[in-house]
Amino acid sequence: MIPFNFEYYKPLSVEHAVEWFQLLQQQGKKPVYYAGGTEIITWARTHAIRPGAVIDLKAIPECNVMDLNEDQLIIGACVTLSAISAANHFELLSETASGVADQTVRNKITLGGNICGNIYYREAVLPLLLANTRMVIAGIQGLRESSIHQIFAQKLRLENGEFLVQTRTDRSYLSLPFIHYKKRQIGNFGYPLVTVAALKKEHQIYTAYSGVCSFPFRSALIDHTLNDSSTPLAARIEKAIEQLPAPLLHNVEGSARYRKFVLKQTMADAVYALESR
Amino acid sequence: MNDVTPPGLLHAKLAVSPHAHAKIIAIDTSEAMKIPGVKAIITGNYAPILTGSPLADRPPMAIDKVRYFGEPVAVIVADEVYIAEMAALRIKVDYELLPVVLSPKEAYQRNTPLIHEELGTYKRHEQVYPEPGTNIANRTKIRKGNMAEGWRNSDHRIEVEVSLPQSDHAAMELRCSSAQIMPDGKVIIHSTSQSPYIIRLALSDAFQIPLHQVIVHTPLVGGSFGGKAAIQLEFLAYLASRAVGGRAVKLVNSREVDMISSPVHIGLYATIKLGCTSEGKLTAAEILHLYDGGAYSDRGALMSRSGAIDCTGPYRIDNVHCDSLCMYTNHPYSTSFRGFGHPELTFAIERAMEVLSKRVGMDPLEFRFYNAIGPGDTSPTRTILDRSNLGNLPMCIAKLKALLDWDDRPLRETDGDIIKAIGVSCFWKNSDTPTDAGAGAVVIFNADGSVNLLCGAVEIGQGTRTVLTQLLAERLRMEDRMIHISTDVNTEKDPQYWKTVASRSTFLVGNAVLHAAEDAITQLKNITAIVLQCSPQELDVGEGRVFVTEHPDIGIPIKNIANGYRYPDGHTIGGQVIGRGSYTMRNLTLLDPETGQGNPGPEWSVGAQAVEVEVNSKDYTYRIINATTIIDAGKVINPVMARSQITGAMSMGLSLASREALLFDDRGAVLNPQFRTYKLIRYGEQPQYIVEFVETPHLEAPFGLRGIGEHGLIGMPAALANSLTNATGAALNHLPLTPEMIWRTIHDSV
């Protein structure tokens, strides 16, 4: 159980949320934004975090949008992973989202929570990295929009008091050929050893990874290597492995050596699958 | 049990050690005491006693040093659960780290740090042979036959080394105990336990309370698998209550505490040398079992004994040398787990059998069939086996072969990247109870002719209480819906039963129930004989009546006799019919400390199992397709429940073999004390389960039944390892069998 008292706030607008945050922070209450709350429960019950106040974003209309219009797919940060998969506007995102945890938990985990949380897999961000999604952020100055690549580096780089409101993905990415593989220690549930999401645009393959390092990433260097059709696939994979942005993860799911083995296979499978499409 | 919260109830929580081995220099509870709502905080020195059976080596809270990550160091009592937990976080303990011993193999080496320096001073309750100056809590020896001759006659000889890690019972319901001390000194305990009568005994012993003043209630328990047979929270709940003047206090484990601080499933490291003739007849076995008992021996000392008693598996081996040890390590301490040492010993011997069968070039089932133990042979403890005390293994194997179409299928075949393979295992199990383990039963007739059955078997989800009503219904020739049994046990009112473990409840309590039924029948007949003016021998009981056997239409409805019989003129004879019965183990003996000779239990249940897998040869991921068990059940009393008991046990065995393990860092801290990271098999990952029964009666049991509660689990880890070994060609001797384990075995041997 969560062994401490904390305050609960449920603002009805972006402005109120941001204002409350500032106020509570000034009062020394260490406020935390949340939507699903699964991470707060996970960390608080093991006494790893101790917020004095939580700000529930689920009543904010902009955070609950799921709208496919002429140009874009707009998904609010408080939309759950199971809702996203059920609506299935962006198949790669649906598949990636439905690999996270299990059904019961996905009914609570939100897109924003999965991306902004402290658990470092953040798998739902992979399709967004590949689709060059734009992120709408709320802060004291109001709303701002930027490309995901400008504000996501290992995690979403938010200023103090900011929160993710929506993601906006260009329609042109939604039905590109794609592939998604999630390899785990064993079975069909659990954290990843290796998750590879990839899509193909204009004959180029773009890949993104979670579980490989201690953060999700997309790498232009690796993509360049993998797309070099003048080299045999096995050689491309060997080279790409050397270009990882950080050492391979070693944790209770699996060792770094084993991850390397799994990653090579999964990368090869991804490239092979997309090359022909 | 945690569903009930009477008013005024206080709540307790544990503060536990973050170190696996350390001296306690000082404990500062002052910050914690300041929190409003905290009623009391107690630490080790509040209860300077040692608990545990057979070896009393464990203080309820750590005293002077901690021996495992998660060991309780204090109990906090407060108005609310969250206050107690907050206070637990504020307890400051100064530790001085000690070197850690993190495997039974390491614990066995000379010059390893001692975990129990005072081992020689510990009280011994039953047969147990600790070795002071070492980390050996118990050593059981089997010395049978002539090893030199056995090896001389061996044309083939192999050796395997296996290991199984500790894991968690993972029952749905968390452990929970509450205690209250009444003004007259009565101690009332509620507990999610398999052992209400042992709780009573243990509290009485530990705290010098007269036995009859300790009353224990166990409700319907939400799964246990041996983990709730241990007594831990009950001591702490009692001490917590005492610390607040006897007020009712409830202590519930969080899942993390339930996984680590409360005892776990025992691990094993073993080496086996096995020999046979060129025809494949087993000649000699030399076995070393090092069980990972963790920081305190608890029932580990007896599980290691079980490991010796049945060390050969269900095979005829004339020359056996076995040392089975319960080792201390700086791991969470181990207690009984479904199988009681047998899943572990079976994994070892079945891997050895598999390797040897390949060496001789015999089919794995043929090899086992050829060496199957049978009537006239002796067990490792030299008990002579017969059709009654031993199930029929050859019949189980024959039936398995038929079911699997064994002779018409390959052991292994490939289909592109996929390799399909099958692996087998046989198993046996006898129980290792005290020689005086027993049960009582009371059969009370109600005025309407229905019956209340009172007994001490706990309902832990195994359906034993249902089966007991069936046994009674059969004997009384009554409809079983006329027999009532409550779901709880109350030690004050229910006749004693040793404890609900060992798959012996239907045997012991069942015999007591039948004895009580006989007693009730005698009373019914005696009253009826007077009324009908005949002799009791002329009467029979059935279908709700007592009637003359030769003239069934002459009789009296039971409801007219159940409370005595009243003549038309008002004159009444007899009184309420209350049948009483009891049964205690017969002919069990202690084991000779040098040779292991003795009679450990009433009967050996046997079975044959198989697992079929499909392995992806590129990445070593696999699916378990089918799992099959043929078991000699003696007599199946409730087919649906028997089948689900076996299936559930098989599922547990496959789960623990494929993915369950407590993972430790190099300081002995547990890395995965949560279900996020501790893997369990799930829906969608289960194979198809096939269960069939053979029936060879055990003549001393009700209707010939044999206990089958644990057995489905026993051979599953070995069968899975054998199937994956057949598929991949890599000798898989270490659990858990994750794809990484398979990959490492293949790649590290290259």
**A61-173 domain in CATH 3.40.50.1100?**
no
Distances (CA, A) of B739 to A211, B297, B415, B616: 17, 33, 19, 10
pLDDT of residue A153 exceeding 90, the answer is yes
Q: How far apart are CA B180 and CA B193, in angstroms?
A: 17
- Identify the H or E element spanning B426: strand B418-429
Residue B354 CA to residue B731 CA, distance in Å, equals: 10
Average pLDDT in the A220-247 region?
97
A261/B738 Cβ within 8 A: no
Q: Work out the average pLDDT over A133-145.
A: 96
Nearest to B740 among A47, A189, A254 (CB): A254
Do the domains A7-56 and A178-275 sit in the same CATH topology, yes or no?
no
Q: What are phi and psi for residue B356, nearest 5 degrees?
A: -70, -40
CB within 8 Å: A258 and B744 = yes
Asked if B625 and B688 touch (Cβ cutoff 8 Å), the reply is yes
DSSP 8-state secondary structure symbol assigned to residue B551: S
Of B618, B619, B740, nearest to A255 by CB-CB distance is: B740
The count of other CB atoms within 10 Å of the CB of residue B402 is: 12
Q: What does the alpha-carbon distance between residue B408 and residue B400 come to, in Å, rounded to a whole number?
A: 13
ipTM over 0.85? The verdict is: yes
β-strand partners of B625 = none
**Helix or strand or coil: residue B291?**
strand
Chain A touched by B79 (CB under 8 Å): no
Say yes or no for a CB contact (<8 Å) between B672 and A252: yes
Nearest CA in chain A to B623: A187
Tokens, residue B705: 């039944």
d(CA B486, CA B492): 14
The pLDDT of residue B684: 86
d(CA B178, CA B192): 9
Other C-beta atoms within 10 Å of B315: how many? 20
- DSSP per position, chain A: ---S--EEE--SSHHHHHHHHHHHHHTT--EEEESS-HHHHHHHHTTS---SEEEE-TT-GGGG-EEE-SSEEEEETT-BHHHHHHH-SSHHHHHHHTTSS-HHHHTT-BHHHHHHSSSTT-TTHHHHHHTT-EEEEEETTEEEEEEHHHHEESEE-PPTT-EEEEEEEEGGGTTS-EEEEEEESSSSSSSEEEEEEEEEETTEEEEEEESSSSS-EE-HHHHHHHT-TTS-HHHHHHHHHTT-SSPPP-BTTB-HHHHHHHHHHHHHHHHHHHHT-
Spatial distance between the Cα atoms of A186 and B173, rounded to a whole number of angstroms: 25
Superfamily of domain A178-275: CO dehydrogenase flavoprotein, C-terminal domain (3.30.390.50)
- CA nearest B736 in A: which residue? A186
Q: Which pLDDT score is estimated for B750?
A: 59
Mean pLDDT, 10 residues at a time, over chain B (750 residues)? Answer: 84 98 98 97 97 97 98 98 95 98 97 97 94 98 98 98 98 97 97 97 97 96 96 98 98 96 98 98 98 97 98 98 98 98 98 98 97 98 98 98 95 96 98 94 94 96 93 95 94 96 95 97 96 96 95 95 94 95 96 97 97 97 98 97 97 98 98 95 94 98 96 98 97 98 88
Q: B714 CA to chain A: closest CA distance, Å?
A: 22
The residues near B300 (Cβ < 8 Å, ≥ 6 apart) are B137, B138, B266, B291, B293, B294, B326, B333, B334, B335
Contact (CB<8Å) A261/B658: no
* pTM for this model (two decimals): 0.96
The residue of A49, A186, A251 whose CB has the most chain B CBs within 10 angstroms, and thus the best one to mutate to test that interface, is A186
Average pLDDT, chain A: 96
DSSP H or E run through B334: strand B334-335
Residue A95 C-alpha, separation from nearest chain B C-alpha, in angstroms: 18
Cβ–Cβ pairs < 8 A, chains A and B: 60
**B78 bridge partner residues:** B11, B38
Indicate the pLDDT class of residue A46, thresholds 50, 70 and 90.
confident
- Look at phi and psi of residue A173 and say left if phi exceeds 0, alpha if psi is from -120 to 50, else beta: alpha
pLDDT of residue B749: 67
B89 touches chain A (CB under 8 A): yes
A7-56 folds as 3.30.43
Instruction: Identify all chain B residues contacting A252, using CB atoms and an 8 Å cutoff.
Output: 663, 671-672, 677
**C-alpha dist (Å) from residue A168 to A80, A202, A219:** 16, 21, 21
Contact: B740, A2; criterion CB under 8 Å: no
**Hey, how many other C-beta atoms are within 10 angstroms of the C-beta on A38?**
20
**Do B81 and A1 contact (CB within 8 A), yes or no?**
yes
Q: In what order do the strands lie in the sheet with A217-218?
A: A178-184, A192-201, A204-210, A217-218
Q: What is the SS3 assignment for B613?
A: strand
Q: Where are the beta strands (DSSP E) in B239-295?
A: 249-252, 264-265, 267-276, 282-292
Half-sphere exposure of A112 (CA within 13 A, CB side): 30
Q: Kindly list the domain boundaries of chain A, sorted by start residue.
A: 7-56, 61-173, 178-275
Which residues in chain A have their CB less than 8 angstroms from residue B738's CB? 185-186
User: How big is the CA angle at A68 (ends A66 and A72), to the nearest 5 degrees?
Assistant: 110
The backbone region for A111, taken as left when phi is positive above 0, alpha when psi lies in -120 to 50, beta otherwise, is: alpha
Q: In chain A, which residue's Cα lies nearest the Cα of B661?
A: A252
Q: In Å, how far is A241's CA from the nearest CA of chain B?
A: 17
**Between B86, B674, B740, which is nearest A258 by CB?**
B740
Q: What is the DSSP string of B431-444?
A: ----TT-EEEEEEE
